[in-house]
């Protein structure tokens, strides 16, 4: 542990610290903001179920694969592939992960900036007497104001860069430990309020009663993409995190906890948003068009229905901000760890350089949402999300699985997993998934990509 500190990398203090930090990476805007949007876009409950299946069969498999590679090599993604297969070209998969991470961070932090904006808007009491229309107008006005949204984006990127420049231990762990559980409790509370709103049942039906006729490749593809996105998979984040775990710890149960808690938070986000949304008079599932602002427009409505709503609102947006920050921090950590390990950069310099780069790259995303919050595939923001947040995550995830099975080997991987986990009861299922089910499912969905995006 201590000797690794010298290289500027650091190690997790304990297993629980790792789980909380990995869950901190995973749980964030992906679950709270993106998942409910995808549910709306994909027509409701079938997508919810497709997502849960994708997490269980593919996400968990992938996470264990990444953690095993990371812990085995004790390296960032580029170094990890290079360590197992020197001079083989596999390291380019690591590079792709590094690039994808920066690309995702660039627009993700824009949304994290909205969370910041909503925090001070709540404090200034802008949500009093809110209705669905005024809430939607408030969001649209906010993102259409380039100075305000860029300012918020800059604040979030600045905080992220600062945390990363100070190092893993002190930066990430302290945040995640206390506040993630609090977020969870608050969400249960909000879910309870949402479900008891008059008219909530229409939203519950939309969210939980699947119409099987709505299943198609598109639903499955975006369920897969969301599983990767929400679990921070497919680009080496979990390889990097795995590299900080000691061999005494149980990778299987850690991965299981991260998958479970992330899915639960996403599920709760939908349970809060859909009943609240369709409790709005005149808004029916048929008429409803999800926009990028869905969560931001809906949460104030349920908060307004609580006694002491102001305080709950402030608390919610503080916790949302922390959830977003633990994710932006994890996104920035991957390329920073890469520059430290492979190019011997000093941590603060790497953080500043990459934080600045992501900010510049995020500006067109921020501005494109100002022009339109619709989920069209033409806006820059939506393009970034489609290309990096869905397609490249799936490609990267497939690459990791192929690497593990054919270039590293199931055997050494299992050995790595069994260290710290003497009884791995899901072993046969994992082996089957990692060999066949997960790669084939990803491959087939990627082949269909033309029909999905066209
Ligand atoms: N999983 C995070 C969220 O849902 C976002 C995120 C962090 C991410 N790291 C990632 C997404 C790596 C994809 C890959 O909010």
% of the chain beyond a pLDDT of 90 = 74
pLDDT digits (tens, 9 = 90+) for 414-440: 999 999 998 999 999 999 999 999 999
pLDDT on residue 2: 34
The four Cα atoms 52, 56, 61, 62 give a dihedral, to 10 degrees, of: 10
Tell me the average pLDDT of the chain.
91
pLDDT on residue 111: 98
pLDDT digits (tens, 9 = 90+) for 433-444: 999 999 999 999
Torsional class of 131: left (φ above 0), alpha (ψ -120 to 50), beta (otherwise): beta
Q: Which protein residue has the closest C-alpha to ligand 1 atom 12? A: 232
Cα(388) to centroid(ligand 1), Å: 11
Cα(324) to centroid(ligand 1), Å: 9
Pocket test for ligand 1, best of 38, 98, 229 (most atoms within 8 A of CB): 229
Burial of 116 from C-beta contacts in 10 A (0-12 / 13-18 / 19+) = buried
Residues with CB under 6 A from ligand 1: 25-26, 28-31, 104, 229-230, 232, 235, 237, 327, 330-331, 393
* C-beta separation of 152 from 321 below 8 A: no
Considering only 307-311, 352-356, 390-394, 438-442, which range has the smallest mean pLDDT?
307-311
Burial of 128 from C-beta contacts in 10 A (0-12 / 13-18 / 19+) = exposed
Pocket test for ligand 1, best of 29, 30, 33, 225 (most atoms within 8 A of CB): 30
Cα(30) to centroid(ligand 1), Å: 6
pLDDT on residue 1: 34
pLDDT digits (tens, 9 = 90+) for 5-14: 444 566 666 6
Q: Which protein residue has the closest C-alpha to ligand 1 atom 3? A: 30
Q: Which protein residue has the closest C-alpha to ligand 1 atom 8? A: 232
pLDDT on residue 127: 79
Task: Choose between 151 and 129: higher pLDDT.
Answer: 151
CA distance 392 to 226: 12
Minimum-distance ligand 1 atom for the alpha carbon of 234: 14
Torsional class of 280: left (φ above 0), alpha (ψ -120 to 50), beta (otherwise): beta
Cα(426) to centroid(ligand 1), Å: 25
DSSP string over 313-378:
HHHHHHHHHHHHHHHHHHHHHHHHHHHHHHH---HHHHHHHHHHHHHHHHHHHHHHHHH--S--SS
Minimum-distance ligand 1 atom for the alpha carbon of 262: 4
- Predicted confidence (pLDDT) at residue 168 exceeds the cutoff of 70: no
Cα(389) to centroid(ligand 1), Å: 9
Please work out, in degrees rounded to the nearest 5, the angle formed at the alpha carbon of residue 118 by the alpha carbons of 369 and 41. Answer: 45
Q: Which protein residue has the closest C-alpha to ligand 1 atom 6? A: 232
Cα(128) to centroid(ligand 1), Å: 33
Confidence of residue 137 (pLDDT cuts 50, 70, 90): very high
Considering only 57-71, 119-133, 415-429, which range has the smallest mean pLDDT?
119-133
Cα(171) to centroid(ligand 1), Å: 17
Confidence of residue 174 (pLDDT cuts 50, 70, 90): low
Burial of 448 from C-beta contacts in 10 A (0-12 / 13-18 / 19+) = middle
Half-sphere exposure of 247 (CA within 13 A, CB side): 10
Minimum-distance ligand 1 atom for the alpha carbon of 31: 4
pLDDT on residue 357: 98
pLDDT on residue 382: 93
How big is the chain by its Cα radius of gyration, in Å?
A: 21
Confidence of residue 3 (pLDDT cuts 50, 70, 90): very low
CB count within 10 Å of CB 425 equals: 9
- Give the mean model confidence (pLDDT) for residues 211-237: 93
Considering only 16-30, 133-147, 304-318, which range has the smallest mean pLDDT?
16-30
Q: Which protein residue has the closest C-alpha to ligand 1 atom 4? A: 30
Pocket test for ligand 1, best of 233, 321, 330 (most atoms within 8 A of CB): 330
Burial of 129 from C-beta contacts in 10 A (0-12 / 13-18 / 19+) = exposed
| 2-453: CATH class | mainly alpha
% of the chain beyond a pLDDT of 70 = 94
Cα(122) to centroid(ligand 1), Å: 26
Confidence of residue 17 (pLDDT cuts 50, 70, 90): confident
- Predicted confidence (pLDDT) at residue 176 exceeds the cutoff of 60: yes
Cα(327) to centroid(ligand 1), Å: 6
Q: Coil, strand or helix: which one is 180?
A: helix
* C-beta separation of 118 from 157 below 8 A: no
- Give the mean model confidence (pLDDT) for residues 171-186: 77
- Predicted confidence (pLDDT) at residue 50 exceeds the cutoff of 90: yes
- Predicted confidence (pLDDT) at residue 177 exceeds the cutoff of 80: no
């Amino acid at each position: 542990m201590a000797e690794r500190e010298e290289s500027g990398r650091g190690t997790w203090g304990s297993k629980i610290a790792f789980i909380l930090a990995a869950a901190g990476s995973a749980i964030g805007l992906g679950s709270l903001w993106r998942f409910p949007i995808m549910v709306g876009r994909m027509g409701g409950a079938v997508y919810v179920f497709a997502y849960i299946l994708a997490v269980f069969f593919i996400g968990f498999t992938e996470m264990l694969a990444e953690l095993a590679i990371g812990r085995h090599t004790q390296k960032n993604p580029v170094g990890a592939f290079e360590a197992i297969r020197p001079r083989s070209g596999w390291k380019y998969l690591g590079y792709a992960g590094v690039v994808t991470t920066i690309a995702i961070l660039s627009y993700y932090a824009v949304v994290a900036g909205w969370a910041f904006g909503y925090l001070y808007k709540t404090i200034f009491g802008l949500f009093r007497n809110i209705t669905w229309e005024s809430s939607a107008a408030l969001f649209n006005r906010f993102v259409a104001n380039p100075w305000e949204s860029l300012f918020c984006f800059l604040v979030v990127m600045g905080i992220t860069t600062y945390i990363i420049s100070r190092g893993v231990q002190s930066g990430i762990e302290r945040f995640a430990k206390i506040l993630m559980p609090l977020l969870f409790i608050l969400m249960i509370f909000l879910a309870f309020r949402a479900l008891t709103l008059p008219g909530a049942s229409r939203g519950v039906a939309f969210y939980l009663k699947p119409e099987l006729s709505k299943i198609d490749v598109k639903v499955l593809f975006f369920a897969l993409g969301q599983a990767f996105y929400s679990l921070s998979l497919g680009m080496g984040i979990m390889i990097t995190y795995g590299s900080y775990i000691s061999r005494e710890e149980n990778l299987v149960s850690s991965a299981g906890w991260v998958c479970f808690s992330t899915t639960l938070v996403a599920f709760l986000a939908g349970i809060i948003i859909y009943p609240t949304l369709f409790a709005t008079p005149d808004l029916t599932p048929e008429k409803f068009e999800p926009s990028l602002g869905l969560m931001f427009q809906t949460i104030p409505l349920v908060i307004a229905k609580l006694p002491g709503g102001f305080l709950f609102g402030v608390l919610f947006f503080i916790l949302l901000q922390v959830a977003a920050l633990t994710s932006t921090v994890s996104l920035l950590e991957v390329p920073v760890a890469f520059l430290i390990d492979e190019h011997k950069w000093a941590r603060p310099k790497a953080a500043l350089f990459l934080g600045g780069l992501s900010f510049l790259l995020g500006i067109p995303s921020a501005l494109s949402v100002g022009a339109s919050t619709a989920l069209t595939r033409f806006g820059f923001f939506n393009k970034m999300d489609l290309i990096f947040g869905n397609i490249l995550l799936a490609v990267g995830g497939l690459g990791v699985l192929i690497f593990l099975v054919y270039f590293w080997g199931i055997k050494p991987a299992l050995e790595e997993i069994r260290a710290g986990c003497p009884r791995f009861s899901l072993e046969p299922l994992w082996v089957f998934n990692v060999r066949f089910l997960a790669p084939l499912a990803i491959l087939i969905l990627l082949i269909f990509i033309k029909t999905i995006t066209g």
